[in-house]
Chains A and B, each alone.
Chain A
Amino acid sequence: MTSKEELLEKLSNAVIEGDEDKCAELAESALEAGIDPYEAIMKGCNKGMEIVSHKYECKEMFVPEILLSADAMYAALDVLRPHLKVDEAGKKTGTVVIGVAEGDIHDIGKNLVLMMLDVAGYNIVDVGRDVSADTFVEKAAEVDADLVAMSALMTTSMVRMELVINGLKKRNLKAKVIVGGAPISQSYADKIGADGYGKDAVEAVRVANKLMEA
């Protein structure tokens, strides 16, 4: 393993361990060693968060541990981001309006998806929880969103997502829609006309990237 690979692995491990100080230090070291900040984010921070996400799905890590990892990741991002070349930051990514469907306050999952999209380089516009269809659509128009990402955890709120999709179409907005959350499935996403569905936060990013490439 080269010293560059070693350093990126250490950064990824520090994210997994939720060690803020170590993450900031390693991010500094990466810059000093001449590592491209975009590469440090993707192969250090992003990789670490992907492993965290995987460990969550396997019940090896739980939400408090993930939140610590997220804080650690942001400590590294704070160091690395100011050094990104402008065109690199938004290369494959775009602007995402993200929120929880109307009537629903379950925002822990949405926040995890938000973090993963953030570290993957998306420009995030968080509209929060219990968000009306009008607010989603207005915000998407206002920021010229490439994507609208919606989370719903309840059978009562998931039905509100279709209104957003219809609203975006009515306004002829370009934003593509990804949906997710415990009661959502690929077939439900298809039924309401969403462009993509993510089972978990990692998949949400994968689907977002695919939609952006299309």
Chain B
Amino acid sequence: MGRMTSAERMHAVMMGQKPDRVPVNPFAMGYCMQIVGLPLGDFYSDGKKSFYGQFMSMRLHGYDVSPMYGYASCGPWEMGGEIAFPYGPGHSAPSVTRHAVNTIEDAENLEVPEFRDGKLPGAYGIADDLFQMCAKYKMPVTFQSGSTFTASSVVADTTLFLKWVLKEPKTLHMLLDKVSDMYCNAIEYFADKYGPQAVMPFDGGPSEANTILSPKGFEEFAFPYMQKLHKKIADEGIGVVLMHPCADQNMNIPFYIKVREQMNWRGKYIWLFGPETPVQDQIDAFGAHDVICGNVDPPSFQTKPYEECVELCQKNIEEGKDSPSGFILAPGCEFPPGASPDKLMAMMDAAEQFGRYE
């Protein structure tokens, strides 16, 4: 088999065919800014610079996924709160400086933002500058479409939100419903603007991890809104969704399986679980129809030497390479923004050496 381009490689995986080698998605976001000598904060505050950094990093390293935009604290700005961009020491992503919901009345009065041309809420306006560049280069438009639970956990004061799980379930459902309406609006807007086949919604978040929430809590407060959004995605005719159940979500897997089953959806999920979920468990749960991503421990790219990073990637490739519907090498969450470029090279080198299919 001859060498494929990145686009051909990804296309082959998405079509259920074998590419020349395992594709690489380094989930590199803030990291890309060091490649182009720009501050990390620009990744999130300026869509054009964000595209530029990611595009250059992708070309320099030769990995296989195109630029995207998103962060864990998406939602608060869009729903009336405030965030700060990560320009300070030690910062790695935007953080909330003022929550939109601090009382039950705030939740009652919360308004769902509309998505209109020239008037996109919060960071979606910044992201759309990047999306326009993606569309121009015929790359998928990867926009944030969840998770409702994580966004709501930062739209509201997080401690209050978590107390509402047990003390104020009705208010919590009202909040979750409004936040999921915001994501429905985003899905409709971007599918309409760029075409359902050109977009790839990105759904995921850390607040529903089982280090925070029980599987029972997930069933009651996260699952229904995931179903609502994924039905919207299916209704819009979108064919691919990037899923990132962040951190330890092992106890939530039965619900993720149910989302497709209950919708009878024919599209494809790309699953990027945290390092806590064994690759084989992902293959057992989703491998029959979905693409599985690897989940190399992200901090290792910052703390371990090149050789060890290659070994970790090799192990990950060996575990996932023969997943029936395809495998992409990836870290279990964002590539550390401060990791050195040789660590990303470790992913590429491992894919070349151990990920070939012929």
Contact = CB atoms under 8 A, between A and B. Distances in A.
A111 to B, nearest CB: 7
A102 B88 contact: yes
A104 B213 CA distance: 21
Interface stretch (B141-149, B157-165, B187-195, B234-242): B157-165
A34 interface: no
Interface string A161-174: 00000000000000
Given A62-B210, A62-B217, A155 B336 contact: yes
Contacts, number: 72
B89 A65 contact: no
A67 B96 contact: no
Interface in A153-196: 154-157, 159-160, 183
A103 B88 contact: yes
Contacts of A65: 166, 214
A67 to B, nearest CB: 5
B337 interface: yes
A89 interface: no
Interface string A128-168: 00101000000000000000000000111101100000000
Interface residues of A, number: 26
Contacts of B338: 155-156
A156 B40 CA distance: 12
Contacts of B166: 18, 64-65, 68
A63 interface: yes
B95 A160 contact: no
Interface residues of B, number: 30
Interface in A97-121: 101-105, 107-108, 111
A91 interface: no
Contacts of A183: 299
Contacts of B214: 62, 64-65
A71 interface: yes
Contact of B213 (A62, A103, A107, A130): A62
Contacts of B159: 67, 108, 111
B103 interface: no
Given A155-B336, A156-B336, A130 B95 contact: yes
Nearest to A60: B214
Interface of B: 73, 86, 88-92, 95-96, 158-159, 162-163, 165-167, 210-214, 217, 251, 298-299, 302-303, 336-338
Q: Give 3 closest A-B pairs by Cβ, nearest first.
A: A103-B90, A64-B165, A102-B90
